[in-house]
């Protein structure tokens, strides 16, 4: 009787461990050599990452952001703006300022520029798309003090596809992954995307779609076995 009880108690943990290993193996095959750095646009199996509502047996499969090339616009603006104070004297209304006022204006300029650059970096870094072995999560920050979080279980996903538009998207291999769900999302989408779950400008969109499809298939197989 004691042996039977121990076996019964141990089976769920063994099953969960085996399921987790199978998920990792399948994802590894699909994603191949995708980067694992936390600074990457798409990170496969990020062991170091956690999120606030993550369950004990839930494993992050993909952590994605907009492709880093999408930061080129604001980086260019910041880079050129760094040199503008060198040409203050070319502006007639600035010529009339004394030395102290000019120094103060220059310091204010660089402070605003630093805030602008930091804000854009943080918005890129923390606007993330998370795929786990149980669900998908889309975190959209609207400024630094407001965010929308959309969550959907794998069994509620009806369709998943992707699109690539433009030469840059094709060259750097990024695009929009659109996930259609069975239920209407109550959380408003700040960017008016095609779906509440639009992974915008994510790297390797074809592989992301393949991973989500594989997870859905494994989830359905598990439910059928049960």
Domain boundaries along the sequence of the chain: 33-66+127-225, 73-121
Sign for the pseudo-dihedral over CA of 206, 197, 40, 33: negative
| pLDDT of 160 | 92
pLDDT tens readout for residues 158-214: 889 999 998 999 999 899 999 988 765 545 454 455 556 889 999 889 989 999 998
Task: Give 19 or 109, the one with higher predicted confidence.
Answer: 109
Assess contact for 52 and 139: CB atoms under 8 A: no
- For residue range 14-65, list pLDDT tens digits in order: 334 445 556 666 677 777 766 666 667 888 877 777 777 788 888 888 899 9
DSSP letter, residue 80: H
Instruction: Give the class (CATH, top level) of 33-66+127-225.
Output: mainly beta
Question: Over the range 200-225, which residues count as b (16 or more CB within 10 Å of their CB) and which as e?
Answer: bbbbbbebbbbbbebbbebbeeeeee
Cα 90 from Cα 60, distance rounded (Å): 54
Which helix (H) or strand (E) is 214 found in, with range?
helix 205-225
pLDDT confidence tier of residue 221, bands split at 50, 70 and 90 = low
pLDDT score, position 74: 95
What does the pLDDT read at residue 131? 92
- pLDDT band at 140; cut points 50, 70, 90: confident
What's the pLDDT score for residue 225?
61
Tokens found for residue 25? 């193996």
Q: What are phi and psi of 143, to 5 degrees?
A: 75, -170
Q: Is the pLDDT of residue 157 over 50?
A: yes
- 3-class DSSP assignment, residue 190: coil
Tell me how far apart the alpha carbons of residues 64 and 43 are, in angstroms, rounded to a whole number: 6
* CA–CA distance, 196 with 149 (Å, rounded to integer): 9
- Strands annotated E in 1-81: 42-44, 60-64
Res. 10 pLDDT band, cuts 50 70 90: very low
pLDDT at 115 over 50: yes
* Residue 75: pLDDT over 70: yes
Whole-model pTM above 0.85?
no
Contact in structure between 62 and 42 (CB atoms under 8 Å): yes
Confidence of residue 8 (pLDDT cuts 50, 70, 90): very low
């Amino acid at each position: 009787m004691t042996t039977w009880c121990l076996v019964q108690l141990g089976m769920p943990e063994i099953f969960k461990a085996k399921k987790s290993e199978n998920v990792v193996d399948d994802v590894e095959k699909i994603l191949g050599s995708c980067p694992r750095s936390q600074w990457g646009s798409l990170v496969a199996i990020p062991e170091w990452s956690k999120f606030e509502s993550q369950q004990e047996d839930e494993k992050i499969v993909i952590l994605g952001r907009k492709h880093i090339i999408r930061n080129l616009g604001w980086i260019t603006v910041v880079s050129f703006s760094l040199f503008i104070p060198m040409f203050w004297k070319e502006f007639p209304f600035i010529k009339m300022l004394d030395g102290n006022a000019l120094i103060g204006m220059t310091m204010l300029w660089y402070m605003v520029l630093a805030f602008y650059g930091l804000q854009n970096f943080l918005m890129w870094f923390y606007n993330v798309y998370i795929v786990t072995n149980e669900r998908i999560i889309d975190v959209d920050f609207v400024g630094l003090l407001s965010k929308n979080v959309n969550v959907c279980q794998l069994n509620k996903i009806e369709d998943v596809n992707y699109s690539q538009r433009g030469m840059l998207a094709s060259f750097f291999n990024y695009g929009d992954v659109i996930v259609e769900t069975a239920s209407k999302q109550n959380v408003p989408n700040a960017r008016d995307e095609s779906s509440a779950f639009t992974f915008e400008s994510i790297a390797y969109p074809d592989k992301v779609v393949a991973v989500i499809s594989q997870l859905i298939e494994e989830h359905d197989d598990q439910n059928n076995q049960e």
